Amino acid sequence: MIILSLLLGVLALLVLPRPVVSVPTLLSAPHPRPLVLWHGLGDSYGSPGMLEFIQLVKDMHPGLFVHSVYIEENLKEDQKAGWFGNVNEQVANVSIQLAEIPELSNGFDALGFSQGGQFLRAYIERYNSPPVHNLITFGSQHMGVSDLPLCRPWDVFCHLARRAARGGVYTEWAQENLVQAQYFRDADQIPLYLTSNRFLAVINNEVDDSVNTTYANNLASLNKLVLVLFSQDKTVVPKESSWFGSYAPPEEDSSLPWQEKTIIPMRLQPIYLDNRIGLKTLDERGDVVLETCDGEHMQLATECWEPIVKKFVGGLVEKQSLDSSNSQTFLHA
């Protein structure tokens, strides 16, 4: 009987539900959210200027991990890729590049110089994995340009690109090979732009019969969109493109041989009013920040960029080291 009682007791222990042991989630020390940079036209990912900027930002936010986007590992080829190449392919390749960096797996802030800004926006709209928290763009061409940038005398790539563009920015070859042609938006030829452009018209969801709702959802997932315009910018034409402004199309019934160009501001743009890329959602939430830097294009005075980068980059996060979801707790923006 004693043996039988012992056996029954053991069986009871086996069939009873076992208590779940609660293992507390361990948190590592707060650390700055990583930063991804995309350089501008005529620059490369590892130029002296980029390296200096990276060091200044790391000094501002000790412990910050920074990745500088590259198209080609060779610096000269990376600079050339800012002039020549297929932007859609470049953004796709960068999405793979970012996904393979462990330090970025939980998300990052992103900062784009000039054309690097709209390329990062394209990454967010199309991929956003890993996700971007804050996007900051300095002098970017979000509504395109109506003129190609002037060239410095020694800039061979620039002169080659301008010469090629004279053959027509909306030709199939230009749209596949000239980077600036892929965000050239001629207000006098909007129908041609909409049918021929392979990049900007697409990421701006300007083509009525091919609107991608994912773009709006992804962009609206940002914490902050910070748009910086240079007050004396003569490289970005019009300069208001940095704030999603553009030249208005000419009036068809005008009897004047010329018309003064007027600007359509962000909040009157069709893509804003129809919320085609999530810009209206962000703005109505109070999460579109419009900033101005004095000076010409990409004249980054310390008093301009430093407060912006201090506020919107390097927010502290706590990484949940034992959480299978690998999530993070945001402490501040």
Per annotation, catalytic residue among 39, 61, 133, 297: 297
* CB distance 96 to 71 below 8 Å: no
Mean pLDDT of 175-189: 94
Of the two residues 164 and 7, the one the predictor is more confident about is 164
Identify the pLDDT of residue 250.
85
Q: Which of 24-28, 130-134, 214-218, 300-304 is least confident? A: 24-28
147 among known catalytic residues: no
Q: What is the pTM of this model?
A: 0.84
Per annotation, catalytic residue among 43, 78, 233, 283: 233
Identify the pLDDT of residue 10.
42
DSSP-derived secondary structure for 34-74: PEEEE--TT--TT-HHHHHHHHHHHHHSTT--EEE--S-SS
pLDDT at 1 over 90: no
CA distance 76 to 78: 5
- The CATH code of the domain at 36-330 is 3.40.50.1820
Mean pLDDT of the chain: 86
Q: Which of 3-7, 132-136, 168-172, 198-202 is least confident? A: 3-7
Mean pLDDT of 15-34: 56
pLDDT at 280 over 80: yes
Mean pLDDT of 294-313: 96
Q: Which of 10-14, 160-164, 200-204 is least confident? A: 10-14
CA distance 39 to 58: 17
Mean pLDDT of 194-212: 97
pLDDT at 15 over 90: no
Per annotation, catalytic residue among 43, 61, 67, 114: 114
294 among known catalytic residues: no
pLDDT band at 145 (very low <50, low <70, confident <90, very high): very high
CA distance 11 to 117: 66
Q: Which of 40-49, 199-208, 241-250, 317-326 is least confident? A: 317-326
Mean pLDDT of 79-95: 98
CA distance 58 to 36: 12
61 among known catalytic residues: no
CA distance 333 to 91: 26
Identify the pLDDT of residue 227.
98
pLDDT in tens, 115-139: 999 999 999 999 999 999 999 999 9
pLDDT in tens, 28-64: 689 999 999 999 999 999 999 999 999 999 999 999 9
- The secondary element (H helix, E strand) that includes residue 83 is none
Identify any residues that bridge with 230 across adjacent strands, giving them in sequence order. 293
What are the extents of the domains in the chain?
36-330
Identify the pLDDT of residue 23.
35
Judged by phi (left if over 0) then psi (alpha if -120 to 50, else beta), residue 209 lies in alpha
